[in-house]
Amino acid sequence: MKTNKITALVLVALAAGQYSGFASAAASQQLTVWEDIKKSDGIKQAISDFEKQNNVKITVQEMPFAQQIEKLRLDGPAGIGPDVLVIPNDQLGAAVVQGLLAPMKVDQAKIDAFTKPSIHAFTMNNVLYGMPKTVETLVLIYNKDLLPKPLDTLDAYYDFSKKMRAENKYGLLAKFDQLYYSWGVMAAMGSYIFGKEDNGALNTHDIGLATSGSIAAVNELKKFYHDGLFPAGIIGDSGLNAIDSLFTEKKVAAVINGPWAFKPYAEAGINYGVAPLPKLANGKPMNSFLGVKGYVLSTWSKDKVLAQKFIEFINQPEYVKIRYQVTNEIPPLVAMINDPLIKNDEKASAVAVQASLATAMPGVPEMQEVWGPANAALELSMTGKQQPDVALKEAVNQIKMQIEAMQASNQ
């Protein structure tokens, strides 16, 4: 009897050991993915296929993409964070510096499948840290009942705006008192955020917001305010709401805004069209900042190889096409730009075309020190409280001081 008991105990111990081994094996074939809010349906089919082909279990949690890095800071070290998450490219620099993300080694052919600006948005110091998921940038949105087709140049909109003011309406409205919206003109006339070293790295001590081209651009934009073509209410933090209200009230023919405005404008019953941004007098197209969301790897992922394989898998054209149809987010795959799904959709095509002309916002942490002083200088310039050359030069000095202070604190 004692022998039987001992045998039974040994069998139980072996079974426990085997179960522990199986559990460990199962755990190594599990991935946690954080997806953007209300966007997980876009990757549902890809996840299902990946699970079947790789004998892996994917757990998906939704949360706003802009909050994921902050949550990773806490959940990653605690061992309850994701393997894969979604972040905007302007959070990349700080996340890399803080050691939150793992680099990726991806075959060149797979990298070349994406538009260069979108890949550049997730590259830092020539190292790739993510694969782009979706792009967004500013476009021109026009009320077809007030403007049957978009105008070709910004100068044409200036002249058109004068005619519309005679009817107590507005021709074109935009938040030119903020860098994000004025950048299209500034960049096309010779402005730059940071200079570049010979190796392509950004020189964050070379600020190009007060070049002669920058000053000329701001003087050009200032005319819309100075000549009464923009209402005073669009200056400042509540300006976007004022622009949206005027557009939905059919008091303005065209606005410069982003894809996030499509749904509210449609719900307001506006018969609107979408086009790339107009050209400038020098013949150059208006540039714009490119916003990119991308899938990245957590430093704390226990299976980075499998996690990267998952990211590459869901970014295959067949799954990207499904994702676009479900979420309406514009993918930065080169093959998708000319796909009939996008090419024959006026809104999607306009965003895709403008995105190809856009510049990814610098992903370095120093970029966060640019927005405040630059926006303050633009507001002072547009309202006539300071001359553009004075305001921009003061902004550059302020940005340099803030960057030096930030870099000193990180040493």
CA 24/CA 47 separation, integer angstroms: 22
pLDDT at 2 over 80: no
Task: Note the pLDDT of residue 19.
Answer: 34
In a domain, 7, yes or no: no
Computed over its alpha carbons, how large is the radius of gyration of the chain?
25
> Which of 123-127, 215-219, 335-339 is modeled with the greatest confidence?
215-219
pLDDT higher at 352 or 170: 170
Judgement on whether residues 219 and 108 belong to the same structural domain of the protein? no
Average pLDDT score, the chain: 90
Q: Is 17 exposed, middle or buried (0-12, 13-18, 19+ CB in 10 A)?
A: exposed
| Confidence grade of residue 7 (pLDDT, cut at 50, 70, 90) | very low
In a domain, 206, yes or no: yes
DSSP, res 209? S
Judgement on whether residues 310 and 385 belong to the same structural domain of the protein? no
Judgement on whether residues 183 and 51 belong to the same structural domain of the protein? no
- Read off the pLDDT of each residue in 167-185 and give the average, rounded to a whole number: 96
Judgement on whether residues 219 and 312 belong to the same structural domain of the protein? no
In a domain, 308, yes or no: yes
Task: Note the pLDDT of residue 410.
Answer: 75
> Which of 328, 343, 360 corresponds to the end of one domain?
360
In a domain, 297, yes or no: yes
Judgement on whether residues 81 and 215 belong to the same structural domain of the protein? no
> Which of 360, 380, 397 corresponds to the end of one domain?
360
**pLDDT digits over 234-255, tens only?**
998 889 999 999 999 999 999 9
Task: Note the pLDDT of residue 151.
Answer: 97
Please give the angle made by the CA atoms of 139, 140 and 144, to the nearest 5 degrees: 140
In a domain, 84, yes or no: yes
Domain that holds residue 306: 30-135+291-360
In a domain, 2, yes or no: no
Judgement on whether residues 353 and 396 belong to the same structural domain of the protein? no
As a whole-number percent, the residues of the chain with pLDDT over 70 amount to 93
**pLDDT digits over 9-67, tens only?**
334 333 444 433 333 344 358 999 999 999 999 999 999 999 999 999 999 999 999 99
Judgement on whether residues 355 and 398 belong to the same structural domain of the protein? no
As a whole-number percent, the residues of the chain with pLDDT over 90 amount to 79
**pLDDT digits over 106-150, tens only?**
999 999 999 888 998 999 888 999 999 999 999 999 999 999 999
Q: Classify residue 103 as left (phi > 0), alpha (psi -120 to 50) or beta.
A: beta
Judgement on whether residues 253 and 399 belong to the same structural domain of the protein? yes
Domain CATH number, residue 343: 3.40.190.10
In a domain, 23, yes or no: no
Judgement on whether residues 397 and 262 belong to the same structural domain of the protein? yes
Judgement on whether residues 148 and 125 belong to the same structural domain of the protein? no
Judgement on whether residues 322 and 405 belong to the same structural domain of the protein? no
Task: Note the pLDDT of residue 126.
Answer: 86
Separation of CA 153 from chain center? 26
Could you tell me the two tokens for 14? 């072996």
CA 287/CA 265 separation, integer angstroms: 24
In a domain, 10, yes or no: no
Task: Note the pLDDT of residue 46.
Answer: 97
Judgement on whether residues 128 and 229 belong to the same structural domain of the protein? no
Numbers of helices and strands, H then E, in the chain: 18, 15
> Which of 344, 360, 376 corresponds to the end of one domain?
360
Comparing 11-15, 267-271, 370-374, the range with the smallest average pLDDT is 11-15
Give the count of domains, the chain.
Answer: 2
- Read off the pLDDT of each residue in 378-384 and give the average, rounded to a whole number: 96
